[in-house]
Amino acid sequence: MTTTITTPLDSATTYISRSHAVAARELAGEMMIMSATDSTLFSLNETATLIWNAADGKTSLRDIVENRICPEFDVEPETACRDAEALVTNLASLGILELSSQPAPART
Amino acid sequence: MSLITELNRKALDRGVPLSVHLDVTYRCNERCEHCYLDHDGDGEMSTAEIKSTLDQLAAAGVFFLTISGGEPLIRPDIFEIIEYARSLRFNVKLKTNAILIREREARRLRELNVEQVQISVYSHRAQVHDGISKVPGSLDRTISGIRLLKAHGIKVTIANVLMKGNLDDAEGVRQLAKEVGAHYTLDPTITPMMSGDASLLRLRITSDSLRTVFNDSNLVGNVEEFCAPPTAVDEGALEGYPCSAGHTAAYVSPWGDVYPCVQFPLTCGNVREQNFLDIWKNSPQFHEVRGIRGKHLTTCNSCSHLGSCTRCPGLAWMEGNMRGPSTADCEKSFIRTGIPTANMLNRGFSDAEAFANSVPQQLRGATRTLVQISPAR
């Protein structure tokens, strides 16, 4: 279940998962996403695509940034976290990502 | 540049099959008089084979997936197929006659986030629509299905194929679409059967009727723009490719045959025998299709319509030459603009109707690879 969380986000306790209401396919390193509800097409840049691919609902946003973004892009964790928080807030408002303050339960 | 144009450009540059049309069956619960299929269901792919095909399509980079038929909902496993396709994050569009859509089916399509459903409606009058579908009560059931889909918030497009038998009802169907909140598209194209039998072309509306349609702003939008004379043929038209078939789009039949397009039944391989991506990348047929540019088209490369014609390479291939003209599109270009095409002039026609009727009754037909190579049939 998605728990509503308020901004500003705390990336250490924010868990992101990919919305089931969208279609997605990676093309040339960028994720193409289309909303099934209003047919809007989005394109995620390379960084946002990394975050999307890591959005398993179980890994905190901070862990994603520290383990996936920072090693790849040579950026300070605090700066990267602030940017990532703004990004996922925006993607959640567009219905592309779902945010939760708790990790998704493990599947049995 | 719009995002969708950019997406298509990227796919073209990288040789990615962005769109695939998958017919899951040719069986149907209607018998539409203009249908180009034979409705044979023997030997069609199993659930497991279709899932495997979907895996291959996803791995190849396919994003837009059209699931069609025949009537796709006639398969008992259709929701398992759609659910699997959605789990692979395809953008799914479903083409159906909606006869089998009840509350449960509409709700399920919403739950599965099918992006849109396209439904054929031939007339707003039951006697005309049912006369074409050959199923009494079909219009009522189709409209009921449309209303259920709309009630569940699903985007619906009503596709109105125009032919002699429903020529007077285009405006009625357009009004019906408006009333139920569906998009409306009109298509006056009747194609030969995939077997090559061109007798269906007798159903096409006359050139005079087509001219009337092309000058109706309710149906084509801005008539001045739609019927504008062709722009001068430039380098872009000569170096451009005819359409997306084989470049960013492909078709898979219920038997696993892979074609460039549903209207271009040139067998390039079969997913029962070969991985889709291997077929897409290495099939000599796909390579041949991809090698064709505007400048390579016989007759068309000297035609003033080259840059604006809707020439279908599949229809041209069925007429005998994938580099040649497609008579139906030559006719449309002439009727839209009043300017004869090179194909008409070369063949000595000045009358559109006589030209349109010059297509032979038996064209090149599709061959099923499976019939030749598999002991299963």
What is the value of ipTM here, to two decimals?
0.88
Asked whether the predicted pLDDT for residue A2 surpasses 70, the reply is no
Name which of B7, B116, B155 is nearest A32 (Cβ-Cβ): B7
Q: Is the pLDDT of residue B101 over 80?
A: yes
Measured CA to CA, the distance from residue B343 to residue B269 in angstroms comes to: 32
For B342-367, what is the mean pLDDT? Answer: 84
Which pLDDT does position B52 carry in this prediction? 98
Q: What is the pLDDT of residues B33-52, one digit of tens each?
A: 999 988 888 899 999 999 99
Return the pLDDT at B351: 82
Nearest residue of B to residue A42, measured between CA atoms: B3
| Closest Cβ–Cβ partner in B3, B92, B155 for A43 | B3
Q: Please state the φ and ψ torsions of residue A58, each to the nearest 5 degrees.
A: -115, -20
B368: confidence class by pLDDT, cuts 50, 70, 90: low
Residue B197 or B56, more confident? B56
CA B46, B49, B54, B57 torsion: positive or negative?
negative
What is the pLDDT averaged over residues B359-363? 83
pLDDT of residue B48: 98
Least confident range of A5-19, B7-21, B206-220 = A5-19
Burial B356-373 (b: 16+ CB within 10 A, else e): bbebeeebbebebbbeee
Q: Which residues contact B182 (CB under 8 A, 6 or more apart)?
A: B119, B146, B150, B156, B157, B158
B63 vs A: CB within 8 A = yes
User: What are residue B257's DSSP bridge partners?
Assistant: B270
Pairwise CB contact (< 8 Å): A27 & B89: no
Task: Indicate the burial class of A36 (C-beta count within 10 angstroms; 0-12, 13-18, 19 or more).
Answer: buried
Q: Which residues of chain A neighbour B62 with C-beta distances below 8 Å?
A: 25
Q: Which has the closest alpha carbon to B2: A45, A91, A39, A42?
A: A42
Query: Cβ contact (<8 Å) for B11 and A27?
Result: yes
Question: Which of A23, A28, A37 has the CB atom closest to B91's CB atom?
Answer: A23
Neighbours of B276 (CB within 10 A): 26
Within 8 A of A44 by CB-CB distance, chain B residues are none
Dihedral sign of CA atoms B167, B169, B174, B176 in order: negative
User: Nearest to residue B90, comparing CAs of B47, B48, B60?
Assistant: B60
Quick: pLDDT tens for A65-87: 999 999 888 889 899 999 999 99
Residue A3 has pLDDT above 70, yes or no: no
Please provide the average confidence, as pLDDT, over all residues in chain B.
93
Question: What distance in Å separates the CA atoms of residue B127 and residue B136, rounded to the nearest whole number?
Answer: 8
Question: Rounded CA gap, B376 and B189, in Å?
Answer: 35
What's the pLDDT at B63? Answer: 98
Mind giving me the DSSP string for chain A?
-PPP-PSSP-GGG-EEEE-TTEEEEEETTEEEEEETTT--EEEE-HHHHHHHHH-EEEEEHHHHIIIIIHHHHT--HHHHHHHHHHHHHHHHHTTSEEEESSPPPPP-
> What span, in angstroms and rounded, lies between the C-alpha atoms of A85 and B170?
51
Q: Is the pLDDT at B369 greater than 70, yes or no?
A: no
Q: What CA–CA distance (Å, rounded) separates B369 from A87? A: 49
The stretch A42-66 carries a mean pLDDT of 94
pLDDT, tens only, B171-225: 999 999 999 999 999 999 999 898 888 899 999 999 999 999 999 998 889 999 9
Neighbours of B282 (CB within 10 A): 13
DSSP 8-class letter at B45:
P
Whole-number pLDDT of residue A6: 57
Report how far apart, in Å, the C-alpha atoms of B62 and of each of B22, B86, B209, B277 are. Answer: 12, 12, 39, 10
Residue of B104, B22, B34, B31 whose CA lies nearest to B65: B22
Window 42-61 of A, Cβ < 8 Å to B: 42-43
Q: What is the pLDDT of residues B109-165, one digit of tens each?
A: 999 999 999 999 999 999 999 999 999 999 999 999 999 999 999 999 999 999 999
pLDDT of B375 above 90: no
How far apart, in Å, are the Cα atoms of B269 and each of A23, B40, B71, B85?
A: 27, 20, 24, 22
B1 touches A: beta carbon within 8 Å: no
A34/B91 Cβ within 8 A: yes
Phi-psi region of B221 (alpha: psi -120 to 50; beta: other; left: phi over 0): left
| Chain A to chain B Cβ contacts (< 8 Å) | 52
CB A104 within 8 A of CB A15: yes
Q: What is the pLDDT of residue A4?
A: 55
Question: Which DSSP category does B261 fall into?
Answer: B
Q: What is the pLDDT of residue B367?
A: 61
pLDDT at A108: 56
What's the predicted TM-score (pTM) here?
0.93
Is the pLDDT confidence value at A9 over 90?
Answer: no
A12 to chain B, any CB pair closer than 8 A? The answer is no
To test the contact with chain A by mutation, choose from B10, B63, B83, B94 the residue with the greatest count of A C-beta atoms within 10 A, namely B63
Cβ <8 Å between A25 and B92: no
What is the structure's pLDDT at B38?
86
Average pLDDT over residues B301-307: 94
Q: Which of B5, B86, B115 to mutate to test the interface with A (most CBs of A within 10 A)?
A: B115
- CA dist B99 and A29 (Å) reads 42
pLDDT of residue A107: 66
CA B308/CA B339 separation, integer angstroms:
12
**Chain A residue at shortest CA distance from B87:** A20
First to last CA, chain A: 16
